[in-house]
Amino acid sequence: MRQTYARISLDNYRENVFTLRSFLGAGVRLLAVVKADAYGHGIERIAGAAEQAGADWLGVAMSEEGIAVRRAGISLPVLIFTALNEQDTFSALEQGLTLCAYTPEHIASISKAAEKLGRAADVHVKLDTGMNRIGARDEAELNALLEAAGKAPGVRLTGAFMHFACADSPDPSFSDRQLERFHQLIHLLPKGILLHAAGSSALLTRRDAHFDMVRAGIALYGYSPVKTSLPLKPVLSWAAEISHVKGIGKGDCVSYGATFEAGGPMKVATVSVGYGDGFSRMLSNRGQVLINGQRCRVLGRVCMDQIMVDATEAGQVKPGDQAVLIGTQGEERITANDIAVQTGTIPYEVLLNISKRVPRRYGQG
């Protein structure tokens, strides 16, 4: 089997939990976001590490993710960030997941499932303070939601939350307006419920948005969306096996479309990774990998299963050696941020794009 894999450091993840916890004020709870297969790191193992490290809650985007957490034996409270259809609501409530609601119709669906199961449903109300994605947008919508909840058997309102649209911006004005709106709406809510507003960006930049709990996502995986002095450690590294090494001469072309032509003699290494593994085709003729601690440029177009790189300055290279796509080798380092800059996206997408055919190997170091 090819030696192309992503290595997940559970120690680094747990250390990031400790680091963020130490940054929070006393009494502020930490929700670890594990949606989208824990940002591509593996939801079951990461959820377990979060629980071990002392996270208070887990956050997911859909019922299937919450059910996967429960099947892994994780007992932490789990919040689903968006409302569900009727069948999903029933499945989520069966597993004791905390639900989200922002319309009276959501409340009715939750109440129906709670009555069928003979149990109460914990619900967090989503407030839309300017993101204009989901949530109750004003006092009228929130009052209608609260009135429905007050009449619905089996529904317990236990929390309320919002999401910042521009918390990673150096200009705080939009976030200021959102936070002001949140304060205007939460006075309508029952006293004593759990309030939360901050994701990773606001967690690190706005203590006035910490409330009762913060939701840490990308920061727990070692990438800060804002400038910070906190020593966050990347959790994922990615390596691929070199399958072939050859010499080419001046005028020789590399890969589909002959988009690269050698200006002179070169040593070219073929690496067993491609866009089928999540190594973006946008890295054609521009991406880099590390071989023997040297940066080696991608030559020509990224193929589905392979890339070719310039290994001329990398010393002795042979089939079976490893190329590092994300991680450290020698004095050099490539991060998901670096790849995001080259491909015009964000590190979230870089991590998530590493496909399922890349095995995840879990380690403590």
The pLDDT tens digits along the chain (365 residues) read 788 999 999 999 999 999 999 999 889 999 999 999 999 999 999 999 999 999 999 999 999 999 999 999 999 999 999 999 988 999 999 999 999 999 999 999 999 999 999 999 999 999 999 999 999 999 999 999 999 999 999 999 999 999 999 999 999 999 999 999 999 999 999 999 999 999 999 999 999 999 999 999 999 999 999 999 999 999 999 999 999 999 999 999 999 999 999 999 999 999 999 999 999 999 999 999 999 999 999 999 999 999 999 999 999 999 999 999 999 999 999 999 999 999 999 999 999 999 999 999 998 65
User: Which residues does the annotation mark as catalytic?
Assistant: 35, 256
**Residue type at 252 in one-letter notation:** D
pTM of the predicted model over 0.85:
yes
Domains by residue range for the chain, with CATH: 9-220 (3.20.20.10), 236-363 (2.40.37.10)
